[in-house]
């Protein structure tokens, strides 16, 4: 992955910049974004289930992590995108129906 993206602001990192540096003993140092000065990708050290829950909660940062910073093959990425769009549409539809029912 040549240019990771910041999950907070969406800007691309400099060429050659990595998401993290690994030290002996298994400890990681997460890189910071040059634009917003926050951690480039906080989801690097999180469990897959936590990332999936954040995706289902429609958190923009988790979408940026999955779409920009995770190396997935094209068919898997297309399936994931389709499922996420269906979930987002369902939630928006539910919110709009719920709004009309309360009125």
What is the SS3 assignment for 41?
A: coil
- Tell me what pLDDT residue 99 has: 59
CA atoms of 74 and 82, how far apart (whole Å): 12
- The whole model's pTM is what? 0.70
Looking at residues 3-29, what average pLDDT do you find? 85
- Tell me what pLDDT residue 38 has: 92
Better-scored residue on pLDDT, 75 or 38? 38
| pLDDT digit string, tens, across residues 48-99 | 889 888 887 888 898 888 888 888 777 887 888 888 888 888 888 887 776 5
């Amino acid at each position: 992955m040549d240019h990771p993206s910041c999950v907070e602001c969406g800007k691309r990192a400099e060429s050659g910049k990595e998401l993290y540096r690994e030290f002996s003993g298994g400890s990681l140092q997460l890189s910071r974004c040059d634009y917003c000065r926050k951690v480039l990708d906080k989801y690097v050290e999180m469990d897959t289930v936590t990332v999936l829950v954040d995706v289902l909660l429609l958190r923009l940062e988790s979408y940026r992590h999955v779409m920009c910073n995770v190396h997935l093959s094209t068919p898997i990425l297309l399936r994931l995108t389709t499922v996420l769009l269906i979930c987002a549409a369902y939630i928006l539809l539910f919110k709009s129906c719920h709004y009309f029912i309360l009125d």
